[in-house]
Amino acid sequence: MKRKQKFYHLVMLPYASGDLHIGHWYNYGPADVFARMKKMQGFDVFSPIGFDAFGLPAENAAIERGIHPAKWTKQNIKRMRQQLRSINAIYDWRAEVITSQPKYYKWTQWFFLQFYKNGLAYRKKAPCNFCPKCQTVLANEQVIDEKCERCETKVIQKEIEQWFFKITDYADRLLKDLDKLDWPEKTKAMQRNWIGKSKGAEIDFSGIKVFTTRPDTILGATFVVLSSDHPWAKNPPKYVINPANQEKIPVFVADYVLSEYGTGAIMAVPDCDERDMVFAKENNLLIKKTKLVDPKEIVKEVKGIWRINYRLRDWLISRQRYWGAPIPIIYCSKCGEVSVPEKDLPVVLPKDVDFKPTGESPLASCEKFVKTKCPKCQGLAKRETDTMDTFVCSSWYFLRYVDPKNAKRFASKEKIKKWLPVDMYVGGAEHTVLHLLYSRFFTKALKDLGLVDFDEPFISLRHQGFILGQDGQKMSKSRGNVVNPDDYVKKYGSDTVRMYLCFIGPYSQGGPWNPKGIIGIKRFLDKVKKLKQSKEIDQKLTHKTIKKVTNDIEKFRFNTAVSCLMEYVNSGNYDLEILMTLLAPFAPELSKKYHHKPWPKYDEKLIKEEEIELIIQINGKVRDRVKVRTDIDKKEALELIKQRPKIKDLKIKRVIFVPGKLINLVV
Ligand code: ANZ
Ligand code: ZN
């Protein structure tokens, strides 16, 4: 017997926040329709689910309610499991992972150590984004418009020792390999943009190296600006020489030049660059009309060097918060920074800690955690008290699913080989430069360390859109337009909610929740329940329906697949068996008996449209006729007839097209 082909179908794991909201449902319901069809098509489908359980929201909620985050998370997961079951998805619950469990985060820590050993994790004192409300540093990816992505407090810069992952080593591969992924173009574009590769030149202005992507504007450079962290910023020279024209130009220090980008110094061309213009006007500096020069020539002439520069910065992964995986590092006064031996993993997060955030790591106040022995010299030593960003935990969870109980390895080589990479990944677009970039980095790093043999985690990716409130607005408690999926499941059943979500709009766009719409679906399913085999079956319509439903589900066009099924029922000439089989992925309760049926195949010959005779008119008079496909459109028809002798030489002013009937050329 032929082995079934594997299909790893993955949905983004939910955060253990306590409630499965309609957005989760929208992610998971239609995604499961796809997974179920794959299964019926004969694939060996693996569709796991788990919980992202560490992190700030759990900790904040626990502080608010005065209960331990571990307890809060546990309660939530219990409740969410039930809600998830109500979706009726084909989840393999044996594969469940919970990222806050020691048996899981043991491996998060183990990966940290592998990265550390190989120079991909390092500690550095650096200016960091710090959220005064969450009392922790944040990664660049978690700062949006200078605000904390969680609480929208304006972040401040703080200079602290922090742990980083060297994602910048992978900038080029992260960029290049996007080309081979079946991902939404917009998501790829956003990653490209975030990585921000640019080609420019480093040019020397009397010892100050500037980075510019526009060496051709050098004659318009009327001053030089240093970032405040530039080595010369404390004592900058008053003037430097522009090497292109030997002019003396002044030097300034300003915050609009970033220290961590390029060389941390720029040549300012106010005539061509807006930021330079603003600065020049504010400070009454010279603005000179720029004569552009050949970039290649000028770089050679001033002996500059061409360089590739990236916007991407290393990933800041340490957090001064309690509810996370401890970073497995020990500080010894004799031996310095020492990694925890692998055999001592996991470094268990202690339970009884005062975890209210103070800006210092809460673990620092837990003496029995901090005090330890140096693994090298056995002398008294201290543990690192920062924990890891939860995005580290979720960067590899899809690997653990395939072998969640393995105590010896994060997952066995065989199981990884059998299931990975993920064939289809479905989830929100809001993770574009966070989770989706981090997981790609993780996978590439693991590949280089010889731990996996693929270098992209998610071959295909689809995003769901947003379900809006009845009023067409974003759902929010204050607007009172929040839809609770549980209520609807209770009232109409899981099948109806699934199918209504499929129907609500194009999947990647979503749409407003409409109480009338969901009743329509309920009625449809009630009607289907009572259907009997029709006396006459329309074979052509049957095969057309199979084709459309199959292709639509394949392309995540669930809404049009549902309409097609409705039309099929309405025709009155359906094949009941086929109808129920096609419905099975959408309404698994109703079509219980059909899940094990093979997915129906269609016969292309039976679908082939007959041709019609299209009338060709010129200025309203019939001049010609041509055989065409019934569903030909205006553009195609025009293309087709343009080359005909009677038409070739005409100057066509306007085209009137009546589908299936005629085309009239006004000349
Ligand atoms: C002169 C110039 C003229 C520039 C002009 C731009 C336009 P990307 O494409 O993002 O790499 N720049 C260089 N280092 C910088 C830093 N540390 N902080 C802020 N700005 C910096 O942008 C590169 C351009 O951004 C560089 O080219 C430099 O300004 C500025 F019409 O040089 B340009
Ligand atoms: Zn030591």
Whether 609 has a pLDDT exceeding 80, the answer reads: no
Measured in angstroms, how far is the CA atom of residue 595 from the centroid of ligand 1?
A: 59
Ranked by mean pLDDT, the top range of 359-363, 558-562, 626-630 is: 558-562
Tokens standing for residue 469: 């409130």
Measured in angstroms, how far is the CA atom of residue 168 from the centroid of ligand 1?
A: 19
The tens digit of pLDDT for each residue in 152-166 reads: 899 988 888 999 999
CA distance linking residue 131 with residue 359, whole number of Å: 9
Whether 480 has a pLDDT exceeding 90, the answer reads: no
Least confident interval from 102-106, 109-113, 175-179, 648-652: 648-652
Full strand arrangement of the beta sheet holding 329-332: 336-339, 329-332, 380-383, 371-373
CA distance linking residue 150 with residue 390, whole number of Å: 13
Q: Choose between 288 and 135: higher pLDDT.
A: 288
Please state the atom number of ligand 1 nearest to the C-alpha of residue 217: 3
**Rounded mean pLDDT, 411-426:** 98
Pocket perturbation via mutation, ligand 1, pick of 252, 273, 299 by most ligand atoms within 8 A of CB: 273
The ligand with the least distance to the CA atom of 215 is: 1
Pocket perturbation via mutation, ligand 1, pick of 212, 288, 308 by most ligand atoms within 8 A of CB: 212
Average pLDDT taken over every residue of the chain: 94
Q: Choose between 259 and 411: higher pLDDT.
A: 411
**Residue-level pLDDT at 71:** 94
Residue 228 Cβ contacting ligand 1 at under 6 Å: no
The type of residue at 344 is: D
The ligand with the least distance to the CA atom of 332 is: 2
- Ligand 1: which residue has its CA nearest to atom 31? 272
Residue 266 Cβ contacting ligand 1 at under 6 Å: yes
Tokens standing for residue 255: 């915050």
Dihedral, CA of residue 645, residue 646, residue 648 and residue 654, to nearest 10? -160
Query: Three-state secondary structure along 616-655?
Result: EEECCEEEEEEEEECCCCHHHHHHHHHCCHHHHCCCCCEE
Considering the entire predicted model, what is its pTM? 0.86
Dihedral, CA of residue 440, residue 442, residue 443 and residue 445, to nearest 10? 120
The tens digit of pLDDT for each residue in 490-510 reads: 999 999 999 999 999 999 999
Concatenating the DSSP letter of every residue in 488-516 gives: HHHHH-HHHHHHHHHHSS-TTTEEE--HH
The tens digit of pLDDT for each residue in 440-458 reads: 999 999 999 999 999 999 9
**Residue-level pLDDT at 170:** 98
Measured in angstroms, how far is the CA atom of residue 331 from the centroid of ligand 2?
A: 8
The tens digit of pLDDT for each residue in 533-575 reads: 999 999 999 999 999 999 999 999 999 999 999 999 999 999 9
CA distance linking residue 141 with residue 120, whole number of Å: 18
Q: How do 156-165 and 121-131 pair as beta strands? A: antiparallel
Whether 310 has a pLDDT exceeding 90, the answer reads: yes
The tens digit of pLDDT for each residue in 196-241 reads: 999 999 999 999 999 999 999 999 999 999 999 899 999 999 999 9
Least confident interval from 350-359, 409-418, 548-557: 350-359
Dihedral, CA of residue 542, residue 545, residue 547 and residue 550, to nearest 10? -130
Whether 136 has a pLDDT exceeding 60, the answer reads: yes
**Residue-level pLDDT at 382:** 97
Residue 272 Cβ contacting ligand 1 at under 6 Å: yes
Q: Which of 496, 513, 508, 499 shows the shortest CA–CA distance to 549?
A: 499
Residue 269 Cβ contacting ligand 1 at under 6 Å: yes
Quickly state the pLDDT bin for 648 (edges 50, 70, 90): confident
CA distance linking residue 152 with residue 175, whole number of Å: 29
Residue 217 Cβ contacting ligand 1 at under 6 Å: yes
Q: What percent of the chain has pLDDT over 70?
A: 100
The type of residue at 20 is: L
CA distance linking residue 129 with residue 257, whole number of Å: 17
Whether 358 has a pLDDT exceeding 80, the answer reads: no
- Ligand 1: which residue has its CA nearest to atom 29? 212
Residue 628 burial (C-beta neighbours within 10 Å; 0-12, 13-18, 19+)? middle
Instruction: Give Cβ neighbours of residue 269 (< 8 Å, ≥ 6 apart).
Output: 214, 217, 218, 220, 221, 222, 276, 290
Pocket perturbation via mutation, ligand 1, pick of 205, 210, 213 by most ligand atoms within 8 A of CB: 213
Q: Which of 493, 501, 505, 602 shows the shortest CA–CA distance to 545?
A: 602
For helices 558-571 and 494-503, give the axis angle rounded to 10 degrees.
Answer: 110
**Residue-level pLDDT at 594:** 94
The CA–CA distances, whole Å, from 54 to 145, 162, 185, 320 equal: 25, 19, 31, 13
The ligand with the least distance to the CA atom of 224 is: 1
Q: Which contiguous run of DSSP H or E holds residue 369?
A: helix 367-370
**Rounded mean pLDDT, 49-69:** 90
Q: Which of 419, 388, 390, 391 shows the shortest CA–CA distance to 403?
A: 419
**Residue-level pLDDT at 239:** 97
Residue 258 Cβ contacting ligand 1 at under 6 Å: yes
Residue 394 Cβ contacting ligand 1 at under 6 Å: no
Q: What percent of the chain has pLDDT over 90?
A: 80
CA distance linking residue 455 with residue 420, whole number of Å: 10
Concatenating the DSSP letter of every residue in 213-268 gives: S-GGGGGG--EEEE-TTSTTTTS--SEEE-TTT--EEEEEE-TTS-TTSTTSEEEE
Q: From the CB of residue 304, how many other CB atoms can be counted at a distance below 10 Å?
A: 23
Whether 1 has a pLDDT exceeding 70, the answer reads: no
The type of residue at 486 is: D
